[in-house]
């Protein structure tokens, strides 16, 4: 599901920004996203076929998820400076939705959810923080608060998942 959502939103953004930024950038970014999602899909298939340690698969998965976040964060750096306020709002709404949608799936591994969130949001925070525009400084602060809030929610969800698993295991014993 996460792979499909990433690809659909990536295609939507390429369509939305076609002609507004160099097409080469958009196609290069989209190609990177398609390649990365293909690797994630292949890794999922391999995981289901193999008995390799879950820890090894978890590490590979984590690296690919963080790379996905870096692609989204990189797109922000590429697009935000040339955006109208309406385009910026759409883009930030899509990124916020991606992050919120990813939380339940990624919360099982704290480092993965944190890595993904930081990779998506830190470039945006930095981009807005170094602007001389007061609105951009407010946006930087808002994204930072969103990062802290979503990180807190992910930690809480992580604890709920592990408490549930622990209780389930105890009840089986």
pLDDT per residue of the chain (173 residues) written in tens, 0 to 9: 889 999 999 999 999 899 988 999 999 999 999 999 999 999 989 888 876 677 788 889 999 999 999 999 999 999 998 888 888 998 999 999 999 999 999 999 999 999 999 999 999 999 999 999 999 999 999 999 999 999 999 999 999 999 999 999 999 97
pLDDT at 52: 66
Contact between 103 and 150 (Cβ < 8 Å): yes
pLDDT at 91: 93
In the chain, what are the domain boundaries?
Answer: 2-172
């Amino acid at each position: 599901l996460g792979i499909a959502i990433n690809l659909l939103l990536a295609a939507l953004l390429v369509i939305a920004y076609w002609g507004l930024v160099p097409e080469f950038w958009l196609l290069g970014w989209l190609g990177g996203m398609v390649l990365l999602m293909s690797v994630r899909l292949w890794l999922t298939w391999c995981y289901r076929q193999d008995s390799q340690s879950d820890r090894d698969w978890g590490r590979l998965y984590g690296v690919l998820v963080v790379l996905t976040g870096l692609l989204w964060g990189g797109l922000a750096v590429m697009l935000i400076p040339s955006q109208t306020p309406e385009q910026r709002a759409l883009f930030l709404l899509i990124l916020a939705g991606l992050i919120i949608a990813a939380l339940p799936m990624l919360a099982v591994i704290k480092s993965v959810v944190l890595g993904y969130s930081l990779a998506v949001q830190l470039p945006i925070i930095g981009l807005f923080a170094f602007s001389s525009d007061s609105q951009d400084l407010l946006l930087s602060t808002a994204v930072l608060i969103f990062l802290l809030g979503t990180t807190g929610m992910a930690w809480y969800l992580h604890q709920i998942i592990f408490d549930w698993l622990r209780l389930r295991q105890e009840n089986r014993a």
